[in-house]
Amino acid sequence: MKGAPRPTTLAIVLRKYDFSETSQTAKLYTREWGRLSVLAKGSKRGGADLRGPLDVLDLGEAEVVKRRDSDLHLLSKWLPSTGFPRLRHRLDRLAAALFVVEVLREGTRDEDPAPLLFDAAVEVLQMLESAGQGGVVAARAWFALRYLDQSGIGPELDACVRCGREAPPEVPARLAIHRGGLVCRQCLALRAEQTMWLTRGHRVVLRALRELRPLEFGCLAEDPGLLQDLMKLLRALLELAFERELQSLRTIDEVD
C-alpha cells in the first residue's frame, strides 16, 4: 500500500556543493521549515522526481525526508520552477540577488521558519529580474529593512528609543545605530552618542520602504541618492546583527 504523500514546500537554493559524481549537497531556504541542509542523491543525473542539478538562486518545490540523527536531510523531490535567469543579465541585479541569498544563508537558523521572509525574498528576486539601476538600489534597501523587521530588530522610527517621546514623521531626526532607533534632542543632551542624521526625505523614504511592495518602487527608484544613504544605515544595522561584514555588500561596493 502506498503511504500518504509527504508534505512539500517551496524553497530557494542558497548554496550547493558537489557530493559525488552524481549527487549534490545543498543549503535550502524553505518556506515551511526555514533553512535546511540536504543531500540530493542523483541530482546531477536528473530524473522525474529530482530535476537537477541544483543551482544557487533556483526556486522550486522540495520534498524533504527529515533525518533525526543528522542535520543533513534527504531531498526526495525537487521540481524547480525558475532560476530567475534575467538576474544574470546585469551585474548589479545579480549582486543584489546574492545579497538576498547571503542574508538568508547567514542570518537565519536551521528549521526556524519565517514564511513572510521567504515571501519577501521571492518577491524581491522577481522584481530584480526587470529592475533598472534605481530599482536595484531600492530592492536592496527594501529587503534589508524587511529582514531586520521580520527578525524583530528593525529600527524604531516613530519614537525616541530612550524616553518614548513621539517623533513626528515629517521632522528630521537622529538615529542611534547601537540603540536601533531614533533618539530625541533632549535625550542626546543628557548623554551624547553616535547618531546618523535623517532628513525629512530620508524619513519619508524609510517609511515608504516599510509600506511599499517591490513592484511599487517606481517613485523611489528615481532618487537613488537617498536610498544609498539609507543603505549605509541599514548595512550598519545588519552588520551589528551579523557581528561581521557581509561579503555580498563588499561585492556591491565594487559593482556600484
Q: Where are the beta strands (DSSP E) in 125-172?
A: none
Decide whether 187 or 230 has the Cβ nearer to Zn ion.
187
Q: Which three cell numbers stand for residue 250?
A: 563588499
Least distance to Zn ion, CB of residue 190, Å: 8
Decide whether 181 or 224 has the Cβ nearer to Zn ion.
181
Least distance to Zn ion, CB of residue 193, Å: 12
Question: Letter for the amino acid at 16?
Answer: K
Least distance to Zn ion, CB of residue 168, Å: 14
Decide whether 176 or 249 has the Cβ nearer to Zn ion.
176
Q: Which three cell numbers stand for residue 203?
A: 524619513
C-alpha span between 43 and 124 (Å, rounded) = 27
Least distance to Zn ion, CB of residue 157, Å: 14
Decide whether 81 or 194 has the Cβ nearer to Zn ion.
194
Pick the closest to residue 195 from 171, 173, 172, 175 (CA basis): 175
C-alpha span between 200 and 172 (Å, rounded) = 5
- CB neighbour class for 78 (10 Å; exposed up to 12, middle 13-18, buried from 19): buried
Angle at 99 between CA 97 and CA 100, to 5 degrees: 65
Cβ–Cβ contacts within 10 Å for residue 200, how many? 12
Is 189 in a helix, a strand, or coil?
helix
Least distance to Zn ion, CB of residue 126, Å: 40
C-alpha span between 184 and 189 (Å, rounded) = 9
Sign of the Cα torsion 26, 250, 125, 212 reads positive
Pick the closest to residue 79 from 13, 5, 155, 159 (CA basis): 13
Decide whether 190 or 215 has the Cβ nearer to Zn ion.
190
Least distance to Zn ion, CB of residue 164, Å: 7
Least distance to Zn ion, CB of residue 162, Å: 4
Q: Which residue has the cell 536592496?
A: 140
Decide whether 65 or 163 has the Cβ nearer to Zn ion.
163
Q: Which residues bind Zn ion (CB under 5 A)?
A: 160, 162-163, 165, 184, 187
Decide whether 62 or 160 has the Cβ nearer to Zn ion.
160
